[in-house]
Structure 1
């Protein structure tokens, strides 16, 4: 459970608290844990006996729906104690509850386009931003499903979004080109990793905070690299 929480974007305090609560609900005396960004080291104490195990966390897209389902399983186990196998079956049955593609992609496009409009983009710029963000989301999903590194996914998606956003320069289609270029890549902002890094640092999980901040910064740098590459190929000026 701790590994799943770590993989799908829960903050460190929540991971530690839920793991301890579930362990006690299943009959452990206590649960001790050490977290690093890529693994969990967990010790279960039952009377005078203890077992320590290390589990590596795989790279997964952030999904707070899964985190919510895990929290629900923990609370239900505390209220209605059951055996370990039952809890394991519940954890194995967790599903992503993903939004349908036909809804997700246009909503991402409209969210970026709405941001551009709020910052002064004209209507042609609005629709170019919508197109760039929507296509970028398609590219991001396809690359992620093929298990490419997140760094590669962010760089290539930013490259594609900037290429399409550059349509605003074509024959003066839009007078707000800089707003279009900056808004079309908003789907790549790693907001939750930055938030979790700050929460972890303030709550005493310094190594986790630094690790998550570094990961979010690398994603930002790779997005910037994709943007600069596209602008360099097209000979565009800065935002």
Structure 2
């Protein structure tokens, strides 16, 4: 196999690999390091420019006499820390064991095709986590119960809308509205001693923590463009959450939290 063909095949794989990392919630520096590690295992070097929706990559040999460039869109995938970890481990496996490209593709496909956690289990665990947040913010047991129910319904609505490919900003507005509307019953019917805590924490499961953290890390490590775009996207989602919560307050005539 001549060097041009090798560069082309490896570049296509690395382009898919890096966009998958971006999609599941990896910060930019880690994407560059893991992708470069695989390229070095084949004796090549990679230069990357990471944007919010695309990754531009150039794969070249040591003497910079042969190169191949690709532009690939970021995949539409949910955040997944297991895939994140396994794809990162794959880069070390490629570097330490000098895997062939066919072996890499096989392992990569296996990682991406592994079944996700049962969505009903995820729904229950998210509800438990948000109820715990309520308790952390000094909510009483009745507030925790309401937050648990509100999160169950709100996150279920989010799952259903995402499966039907609704715009993700609309999904955040509607999910926040649904959860906060259920939690608002604690204020309307004077349930428990901390109804404000129940209402305020009912939408915390929607907070885009990973984009916020990754955006800050990207900016600190020099990936200013990618970091800024991530922070802007996270800020828009937070505004959507605020809109959903505000609709509940307006609908029920609640003036203050």
Normalization by structure 1: what TM-score? 0.94
Query: 2:106 maps to which residue?
Result: 89
Deviations 1:146-170 (A, max 9, x none): 2222212211110100111012124
Deviations 1:122-180 (A, max 9, x none): 22222111100111111111112222222122111101001110121243223321100
Rounded to whole Å, the distance in 2 between the matches of 1:220 and 1:144 is 17
Worse-superposed segment, 141-150 or 223-232 = 141-150
Q: Could you tell me whether the CA contact under 8 Å between 2:60 and 2:66 is conserved in 1?
A: yes
Rounded to whole Å, the distance in 2 between the matches of 1:188 and 1:143 is 14
Equivalent of 2:50 in 18, 32, 35? 35
3-state secondary structure, aligned to 1:41: strand
Q: Could you tell me whether the CA contact under 8 Å between 2:187 and 2:196 is conserved in 1?
A: no
| Structure 1 stretches lacking a partner, 5+ long | none
1:8 and 2:24 are equivalent in the alignment? yes
Q: CA deviation at 1:97?
A: 5.3
CA spacing shift, 1:53–1:123, aligned 2, 3 Å? same
Worse-superposed segment, 130-139 or 107-116 = 107-116
Q: Could you tell me whether the CA contact under 8 Å between 2:22 and 2:74 is conserved in 1?
A: yes
Rounded to whole Å, the distance in 1 between the matches of 2:107 and 2:131 is 40
Deviations 1:196-239 (A, max 9, x none): 11111011111011010001001100111111112211212232
1:177 and 2:195 are equivalent in the alignment? yes
Query: 1:106 maps to which residue?
Result: 124
Equivalent of 2:35 in 2, 16, 19? 19
Query: 1:55 maps to which residue?
Result: 72
Query: 2:179 maps to which residue?
Result: 161
Query: 2:4 maps to which residue?
Result: none
Rounded to whole Å, the distance in 1 between the matches of 2:256 and 2:122 is 30
3-state secondary structure, aligned to 2:160: helix
Query: 2:223 maps to which residue?
Result: 205
Q: Could you tell me whether the CA contact under 8 Å between 1:38 and 1:57 is conserved in 2?
A: yes
3-state secondary structure, aligned to 2:193: coil
| Structure 2 stretches lacking a partner, 5+ long | 1-16
Rounded to whole Å, the distance in 2 between the matches of 1:224 and 1:67 is 30
Number of residue pairs the alignment of both structures matches: 238
Query: 1:148 maps to which residue?
Result: 166
Q: CA deviation at 1:59?
A: 3.5
Q: Could you tell me whether the CA contact under 8 Å between 2:93 and 2:99 is conserved in 1?
A: no
